[in-house]
Amino acid sequence: GTAFVHTVIDDHSRVAYAEICSDEKADTAIGVLRRAVSWFADRGVTVERVLSDNGSAYKSHAWRDACIDLGITAKKTRPYRPQTNGKIERFHRTLADGWAYAKLYPSETERRKALPGWLHFYNHHRHHSAIGAPPISRIENNLPGHHT
C-alpha cells in the first residue's frame, strides 16, 4: 500500500509532529493540522501561521476555511522552489535516513509502529546541529513561568 507522512514543524524550535496517512486529500491534511495544533498547544506552542507547499490540499477552500477557523494565517511556498520550505525538506531527509530507511523492517506495520519512538528521539534526544540542542529544549526553556 501507499502511505503519506504528513509533517508539521515548529519554525523556532524545530519540534516535529508527524502522522502516517493513506492519502494527501484536503480533509486528511486538515485533520492532521487540527491534531498538530492541539498537540503543539499541549506543549505551550501557539500556531499562528502555517507555510505549505502548493499541493492541491493546501490550495483548497476547505484548507483556507480550516485555517481561518483555527485563527492561523495560511501561506504558500513559491512554486517549484522547495528551498523556500527548507526546514521541512531537511526534516524529511532526516526522517527518511533516521526512520523510514534506517533499517529493514519486517513489515509496513513494523515501520509504522517505529515512527512515534523515532519522533520522540528526534524531538527530545537528538542534537540538532542548527540549534545546538534537542528541539524540545527550545520549548521547555521558553515556557511562561519556567524561569524564576
Query: pLDDT tens per residue, the chain (148 residues)?
Result: 689 999 999 999 999 999 999 999 999 999 999 999 999 999 999 999 999 999 999 999 999 999 999 999 999 998 888 778 889 999 999 999 999 999 999 999 999 999 999 999 999 999 988 888 999 999 886 655 543 3
Residue 146's pLDDT is 46
Residue 2: what are its φ and ψ, rounded to 5°?
-100, 140
Q: CA nearest 46: which of 120, 139, 109?
A: 139
> Amino acid identity, residue 16?
A
Residue 80's pLDDT is 81
